[in-house]
Amino acid sequence: GNSVTQMEGPVTLSEEAFLTINCTYTATGYPSLFWYVQYPGEGLQLLLKATKADDKGSNKGFEATYRKETTSFHLEKGSVQVSDSAVYFCALSDKAAGNKLTFGGGTRVLVKP
């Protein structure tokens, strides 16, 4: 079956620090990969996506590259802000599984001023 593993948090950073959240996956098919972000008291928002190997998804200064050889999709941001404090979920969907999303456990990020 499909699974997603991401680093456990919480991750505590100072403003303007570099952020990386590791994500690796196993999938039976050729999945699409996503990062979702959940701000306090809200639902999940799509942050970025990649649909094939070597694709780079980017949004709001965040980037992640689909690495098929290492089955990874690590999230990075070069300079975080307090407003980036949230829970980040790595996820995959596999067309063979009917577009069901498989989530990682989530990583809480806290950015301090």
Partner 1 sequence: DTEVTQTPKHLVMGMTNKKSLKCEQHMGHRAMYWYKQKAKKPPELMFVYSYEKLSINESVPSRFSPECPNSSLLNLHLHALQPEDSALYLCASSHVVRDTTNSPLHFGNGTRLTVT
Stretch of 13-21, 45-53, 61-69, 78-86 contacting partner 1, by CB under 8 A:
45-53
Per-residue H/E/C for 15-28:
CCCCEEECEEEECC
Instruction: Find the shortest distance in angstroms from Cβ 22 to partner 1.
Output: 16
Task: For residue 57, state whether it binds partner 1 (rule: CB under 8 A).
Answer: no
Task: For residue 53, state whether it binds partner 1 (rule: CB under 8 A).
Answer: no
Q: Which residues contact 15 (CB under 8 A, 6 or more apart)?
A: 80, 81, 82, 111, 112, 113
Instruction: Find the shortest distance in angstroms from Cβ 75 to partner 1.
Output: 15
- Within 22-41, the residues that bind partner 1 by CB under 8 A are 32, 34, 36, 41
Buried b / exposed e along 73-112 (16+ C-beta atoms within 10 A) = bbbebeebeeebbbbbbbbbbbeebeeebbebebbebebe
The single residue among 40, 69, 70, 98 that binds partner 1, judged by CB under 8 A, is: 98
Report the interface residues with partner 1, using CB under 8 A: 32, 34, 36, 41-46, 49, 51, 89, 93, 95, 98-101, 103-106, 108
